[in-house]
Amino acid sequence: MSDEEIRVWKRLMHSDSPPFGNYRDLGLSNTRKMFSGALRGKFAVPGYNFYNLEQLRAIMAGCAGTDSPVILQVLERNLNDASVRSITHMVKGIIVSRNDSVRAVVALHLDHGTSFESCKRCVDVGFSSVMIDGSQLPLDENIELTRTVVDYAHKYDVCVEGELGAISGATEVATREEMYTRPSQVDEFVKATKVDSLAISIGTAHGPSKSRLKDAPVQLRLDILDEVRARVGDFPLVLHGASGVPKQYVEILKRYGGQMEGASGVGDDQLKAAVKKGICKANFDTDIKLIFTATERECLAENPKEFDPRKHLEIAEARVSEYVRNKNRVLGSQDMGRYCH
């Protein structure tokens, strides 16, 4: 038995930590208190996806810097065995190197896990929250898969997000009636799986084209949200695909050679209405990528002699950070971290 295996075995036998460490040792929180704080304070916790160190720093500056709780998210397809552990250490490094007046409330979350194995892998290395997306499965299979992940994750007090109803990447599919969450299935799903939060499909889509009407903002089906709330009360509900796809950045992207057709996002008014009606987590992925890439295109085109990457990365980081601060104001999450401990 190698030293590493012995270490793992000891941990399994003698402590409640998962094999490669507990998320608390990384300075992370799970999402339970964040969501109870959000429901009490009538705000939503932002879930921001990140793809590199600069985006992570920008998100942390925009959240921890204004005492907003934050859920840092990584997509399953961006993880392999090597990177999953580097991500936890990168996040820990950023948390401990910040000098905020109040302790940052940060969760590290797997976005759209598709199997028990990938959720387990993230729990085992110190993620504090995982999503298991069984929305493509028949209801009974979705329940079974989600329940298996919950049973494992809860052993280590890691939270689990499930999904009912499909949140597609293709607008025409996402807006078909059968893709919306069926409120009649929600309480059965929540009770049978013991999941901690639930992503529901109320008219958003992944990617930069979210509306069924060209160049028009998304119209959320708040009636479905009302119906779901009537059945599950104060249960944490999650809105995926919440990016606003800001016009000014679509224009910058296009001006400097990028292509993005049919861009449309969720307007801040729609987002506010959803939060008011009980959405307590909103996910942003497209906006982070769009703002970062548009800014890099602009900087590289405007400064052809500059080859030091720090110059354009710095500007992209600052713009993402500014975006995050503004979006948090829409969600009402700034200054709310103190209520989430």
As a whole number of angstroms, the distance between CA 181 and CA 200 comes to 6
CB contact at 8 A, 160 and 129: yes
Number of H helices and E strands in the chain, helices first, is 13, 8
Of 111, 124, 285, 287, which residue is the catalytic one?
111
As a whole number of angstroms, the distance between CA 77 and CA 302 comes to 33
By beta-carbon proximity to Zn ion, the closer residue of 73 and 328 is 73
Give the pairing of strands 129-132 and 159-164.
parallel
Q: Tell me how far, at minimum, the Cβ of 204 lies from Zn ion, in Å.
A: 9
CB contact at 8 A, 60 and 98: yes
As a whole number of angstroms, the distance between CA 286 and CA 290 comes to 6
By beta-carbon proximity to Zn ion, the closer residue of 240 and 297 is 240
**Which residue's CB comes closest to Zn ion?**
240
By beta-carbon proximity to Zn ion, the closer residue of 61 and 290 is 290
By beta-carbon proximity to Zn ion, the closer residue of 64 and 160 is 160
CB contact at 8 A, 31 and 159: yes
Active site includes 111? yes
Q: Tell me how far, at minimum, the Cβ of 65 lies from Zn ion, in Å.
A: 26
Tokens 């713009």 belong to residue? 319
Q: Tell me how far, at minimum, the Cβ of 240 lies from Zn ion, in Å.
A: 3
Kindly list the residues in this chain that would bind Zn ion in the complex (CB under 5 A).
240
Q: Tell me how far, at minimum, the Cβ of 7 lies from Zn ion, in Å.
A: 35
Q: Which residues are catalytic?
A: 111
